[in-house]
Structure 1
Amino acid sequence: MDMYDDDYWYFMEILNLTSKNENQTNITNPGYVVDGLVPLCPKMDVVHFGAKYLPPFFYINFIISILGNGLVLYIIYKYEKLSTVTNIFLLNLVISDLLFACSLPFKAVYHASEWIFGRTMCKLVSSLFSVGFYSSILFLTLMTFDRYLAVVHAVTAAKQRRKAYAISSSVVVWVVSLTCSVKELILHDTRPDPKYDELCEDLGYDQNSLTKWKLFGYYQQFIMFFMIPLAIILYCYIRITVRVLSTRMREKCRAVKLIFVIVLTFFICWTPYNIVILLQALEASYSTDCPSDALDYAHFITRNLAFLYCCISPVFYTFVGKKFQNHFMKLLARHIPCLKSFVLVTDTRSQTSKTTSCKNPYMLTDKTSVRMLQSVS
């Protein structure tokens, strides 16, 4: 009975709004009269699905991101310097993922009940969510391109890869991300709803304008934040793999395997979500019927997979590298005494390997070209 009561009050609100509009004008433009049924799209099952499964996933993502990215930040502060290009990019990636993660608890509360944080926070959280999401994928792409320069074009990159290059590149990424997130700041607003209480959605414009903005967002996500980054990442890692296989480095097999894992993980986490985005865009472009429930469910599931990748990407990109593994072991050894001997042995082997490679003149060229691969091998 409650469901029918909700539908009744929802219908009465629409009827009251229609009556107010008719009282404001005595002339009806026949061009706006449509002969036919206007479909109402019941999405209660989809809403209940989101309210049940999304909040726990958002909270888990938030905790994982805070712990993992916080650990990366501490290791950078404790053992590394921000004078290197890689660490500057990594720091920006961590910041972007933390911005994204900090919006997740607000999203979790919203999906579980309603928007309770006010109009200003609605716009702010939606914007931070998009800025963090967009900048994360752009910084991952930038780090891949920088790794390609350092490995494939080692001699040229050694002269150009300076601190100013890293800072200017990071500024460009932030500007692009902020620009692409302006629509969330403009369109997102709050309004009361008889069925779902307080909403924080794309509001304030007519349905035709909102549909156009939605299509723009779909294609922007698919082309600019998936197809272009994917093409760059595939090209860069293919060239890196070819370069590594042509060297005399003993660990090249391990490096190639890790490159394969990085590309495969990116593809698995991002491809399903962006395929759903493309299907939703095509459906909105060519169909006037209610959006498919199957696509709504698929959007929830695949989006969470992409969100998880954003939250763990700094940890994934750092702790597959030997250098950060050693830093992490040193950090653990400070609190677990039995690990101190293992850390000393690891440091000794690392120093011996460096000395040997410097004494071998035939390894100098290989060592220069694969220096950046130490972050993934």
Structure 2
Amino acid sequence: MANNSTGSGGGVNNSSDVGYLNDETFTINTITGAFFILIFIFSVMGNSLLLCVLVVYENLKNVTNLFILNLACSDLIFTVTLPFWAVYHLHHWIFGDFACKFMTLLYFLGFYSSIILLTAMTVDRFIIVVLHNWPSKPVRRQRCAMVACAAAWAISIAASVSDAIKVKAENRLQGSTCEDHSDVFDVKLGYYLQVSLLFFLPFAIVVFCYSAILKTVLQATNRKRHRTVVVVLCIVAAFFICWGPYNILLFICSLYEPECFNEEEHFDIAYGICRILAYSHCCMNPLVYMLSQKLRRYLLDFLRCEKARRKNSERGTGQSTSVYQNVAFTAHNSAVMLELHSK
């Protein structure tokens, strides 16, 4: 499932081939390609601003900020692949075999690292809120978070390389493709592994952790200190809302094969919609982070800094000009008064 999903920019049913057969599917491919470009633009802008705000204003030794920084990098890595998949949908694969493998590697690296980092961030919140600051020392907690981030990237890179090796660019009558060419058994095994290990298992961990967190928060008398829990909950919820339908459809695909062309066509359309929703997740996190009033203030300060400096310089120039005019006016009046007095 994971491997074959790289085909046609993530298409499990080789929709790139179907796109040349009928106008309706071609329209879906065109819409998908256009959405990928829009998602790319918003994701680059949002995540780049988020990274700048974190680096300029926030303490990167803070564990939550460390996870958010790594998630923003993960989203940007995933985002880099979207223009290539957009061209694939709008035309065909024109970038060659190396780009096919490299974009596949980045695609899965961004996806795998996101889910692992989100799960680790949820477990961190669980430890802080439910287990009462274990480990107790902030330095030890920070080291644990750094090890978790490093492990997330190491696991993601290893899994991504394995997926990238299996894909290759191939010339066909309809145009060049970038797809997994493993046999059916390996492809279905990939479906089960990705859905089980990288969706349902993290989802189960997240549900367990947040059930305990919400129970603890509701029992606490002072809930203001748990605002970070709300932000992290929204981040995780956004991930599963975006990627949930996509992974469920992939799981259905591994168990069911369309019996006729109309069913396959409808399945491709549903899959295209779910894929757009899933890929849009990379530009959701910056919006979720804006739930934090502090981050909103930092973002406004960052965006206004150049404007503020310009206003201050203009104000300073205006004040100096005004003082010069007052001095000149006073000197002129004094000269007139002296002249009158001498007469």
1:188 paired with 2:160, answer no
Alpha-carbon contact 1:81-1:87 (below 8 Å) kept: yes
TM-score normalised over the length of structure 1: 0.69
Q: Percent identity?
A: 35
> 1:282 is matched with which residue: 232, 236, 255?
255
Distance in structure 1 (CA, Å) of the matches to 2:112 and 2:233: 24
Alpha-carbon contact 1:280-1:295 (below 8 Å) kept: no
CA deviation after TM superposition for structure 1 residue 232, in Å: 1.4
Question: 1:228 — aligned with what?
Answer: 201
1:118 paired with 2:107, answer no
Question: 2:328 — aligned with what?
Answer: none
Distance in structure 2 (CA, Å) of the matches to 1:214 and 1:311: 29
Question: 1:59 — aligned with what?
Answer: 37
Distance in structure 2 (CA, Å) of the matches to 1:77 and 1:262: 20
> 1:129 is matched with which residue: 104, 107, 119?
107
Distance in structure 2 (CA, Å) of the matches to 1:128 and 1:118: 16
- Structure 2: any 5+ residue segments left out of the alignment? 1-16, 312-343
Distance 1:121 1:262, change over 3 A: closer
Distance in structure 2 (CA, Å) of the matches to 1:95 and 1:259: 17
Query: In structure 2, the residue corresponding to 1:82 is in which secondary structure?
Result: coil
> 2:246 is matched with which residue: 270, 273, 283?
273
CA deviation after TM superposition for structure 1 residue 153, in Å: 1.9
1:311 paired with 2:283, answer yes
Distance in structure 1 (CA, Å) of the matches to 2:197 and 2:238: 19
Alpha-carbon contact 2:122-2:232 (below 8 Å) kept: no
- Structure 1: any 5+ residue segments left out of the alignment? 1-40, 204-208, 341-377
Question: 2:302 — aligned with what?
Answer: 331
Query: In structure 2, the residue corresponding to 1:191 is in which secondary structure?
Result: strand
Given residue 146 of structure 2, which amino acid in structure 1 is its aligned partner? Answer: I
CA deviation after TM superposition for structure 1 residue 251, in Å: 4.0
Question: 2:74 — aligned with what?
Answer: 96
Distance in structure 1 (CA, Å) of the matches to 2:187 and 2:25: 19
Distance 1:217 1:297, change over 3 A: farther
CA offset digits 1:233-278 (Å, max 9, x no partner): 1122221111111222254897787677556534432221121011
Distance in structure 1 (CA, Å) of the matches to 2:191 and 2:260: 18
Question: 1:248 — aligned with what?
Answer: 221
Distance 1:330 1:137, change over 3 A: same
1:211 paired with 2:189, answer no
Distance 1:256 1:180, change over 3 A: closer
Query: In structure 2, the residue corresponding to 1:114 is in which secondary structure?
Result: coil
Question: 1:362 — aligned with what?
Answer: none
Distance in structure 2 (CA, Å) of the matches to 1:103 and 1:135: 15
Alpha-carbon contact 2:104-2:163 (below 8 Å) kept: yes
How many residue pairs end up in the alignment? 289
Alpha-carbon contact 1:234-1:263 (below 8 Å) kept: no
Distance in structure 2 (CA, Å) of the matches to 1:124 and 1:180: 13
1:200 paired with 2:178, answer yes
Q: CA RMSD in A?
A: 2.8
Alpha-carbon contact 2:231-2:288 (below 8 Å) kept: no
Distance in structure 2 (CA, Å) of the matches to 1:188 and 1:153: 44
Q: Which one has the largest radius of gyration?
A: 2
